[in-house]
Amino acid sequence: MAKKILKCQNCGTYTMKGKCPDCKGKAVNIIPAKFSPEDKYGKYRRAGKQKDLKDKGLL
């Protein structure tokens, strides 16, 4: 299981504690990139991969 990574809302420092070690700001959970709703091309990448598998007869 992946460790929980938090990011300081104030200065952007990554930490694993609820409080930023640099500025004592509040650190919040970051969303893993693969689940990012901003990843517009993720669905096309996945579609491409599925097509690859089909082409190879793996699906």
Q: What does the per-residue mask of binding to Zn ion show for 26-45, with x meaning CB under 5 A?
A: --------------------
47 touches Zn ion (CB under 5 A): no
**First vs last C-alpha separation in the chain:** 29
* Residue 4 Cα to chain centre, angstroms: 11
17 touches Zn ion (CB under 5 A): no
Report the nearest approach of Zn ion to the CB of residue 52 (Å).
42
**Of 32, 25, 7, 33, which Cα lies nearest the Cα of 16?**
7
Residue numbers of the site for Zn ion (CB under 5 A)? 8, 10-11, 13, 20, 22-23, 25
